[in-house]
Amino acid sequence: MRSAILNVMANAALKAARGLIRDFGEVEQLQVSVKGPGEFVSTADLKAERILRAELTRARPGYALLLEESGATAGPDQRHRWIVDPLDGTTNFLHGIPHFSISIALERDGEIVAGVVYEPTRDEMYAAEKGFGAYLNDRRLRVSARRQLGEAVIGTGMPFGVRADQPGYVDSLASMMSATSGVRRMGSAALDLAYVAAGRYDGFWEFGLAPWDIAAGILLVREAGGYVSDMAGGHEMMTTGDVLAANDHLHLPLAALIREALRGGRVTRRV
């Protein structure tokens, strides 16, 4: 049984996902040549965002919004804010790779209290409410119990384009590659965090993410018993965009590994 607020969020995600799945089918069939795939995908993205805005606003009219595509809207309710990424994993979507998600978080008094990440192609609904645990569909989630770094599989996001020269990233990647049993870059940060919550990944790190990429995922990891911090070990993930998530055993060694890597290289970043 989901709470009323999680139902609102999950139903909004399901409704927006129907359009995304249809549009993804067209990308796969390469039927998008009229305007070009880039424009087609951004239209799909905007359509999903419009549905999410309409559904969330209909259910809770006064809440403020922070939407990736249309930005921030204040509401008469000063305490609540929706934080939404209508399509996380745009590059995958554009290339016909079936790994993308919708992420919806609810913030109350500056704290994330509910989060949903939905993966349409696998029909996997991750949902968490503060104090009530994290779920994948109807199954309660728990982060992995692995204690050995050498056995751990760690997710990441690699900076690209203008962010490609992110100081220290390549050094942190090199350290992770030699210390763990493998690094994965799957292309949706919201799902990366959901995978940590589900115990599929033993950890995840990425620099420079946006609030809508991580707001719901952070709560999922915490409610699944995991630990999330920024790279300095603090809790400024939403402002720095830097995220390290793992189970309790691995968080400390992973944080140390990244800190060392950043110190050793072209570091300009606060550690």
Residue 132: CB minimum distance to ligand IPD, A: 26
Contact, 120 vs 102, CB < 8 A? yes
Task: Kindly state whether residue 85 participates in binding Ca ion, applying the rule CB under 5 A.
Answer: yes
Which of 23, 49, 88, 119 forms a contact with ligand IPD (CB under 6 A)? 88
Task: Kindly state whether residue 88 participates in binding Ca ion, applying the rule CB under 5 A.
Answer: yes
Residue 155 binds which one of ligand IPD, Ca ion, none, with CB within 5 to 8 A depending on kind? none
Residue 104: CB minimum distance to ligand IPD, A: 13
- Nearest to Ca ion by Cβ — which residue? 88
Number of residues that bind ligand IPD (CB under 6 A): 12
Residue 75: CB minimum distance to Ca ion, A: 22
CA distances from 8 to 24, 105, 206, 251 (A): 24, 11, 29, 33
Contact, 171 vs 262, CB < 8 A? yes
Contact, 141 vs 198, CB < 8 A? yes
Contact, 221 vs 143, CB < 8 A? yes
What pairs with residue 129 in β-bridges?
Answer: 114
CA distances from 84 to 6, 130, 150 (A): 14, 18, 35
Stretch that binds ligand IPD, among 1-9, 33-41, 185-193, 242-250 (CB under 6 A): 185-193
Residue 228: CB minimum distance to Ca ion, A: 17
Which of 172, 175, 188, 229 forms a contact with ligand IPD (CB under 6 A)? 188
Residue 188 binds which one of Ca ion, ligand IPD, none, with CB within 5 to 8 A depending on kind? ligand IPD
Stretch that binds ligand IPD, among 118-126, 131-139, 169-177, 183-191 (CB under 6 A): 183-191
Residue 268: CB minimum distance to ligand IPD, A: 19
Where do we find the tokens 């745009």?
90
Token pair recorded at residue 102: 């919708």
- Backbone φ and ψ of 203, nearest 5°: -170, 170
| Burial of 246 (C-beta count, 10 Å sphere; 0-12/13-18/19+) | buried
Token pair recorded at residue 206: 């990425």
Residue 168 binds which one of ligand IPD, Ca ion, none, with CB within 5 to 8 A depending on kind? none
Residues near Ca ion (CB under 5 A) are 68, 85, 87-88, 213
Residues near ligand IPD (CB under 6 A) are 85, 87-90, 157, 187-189, 206, 209, 213
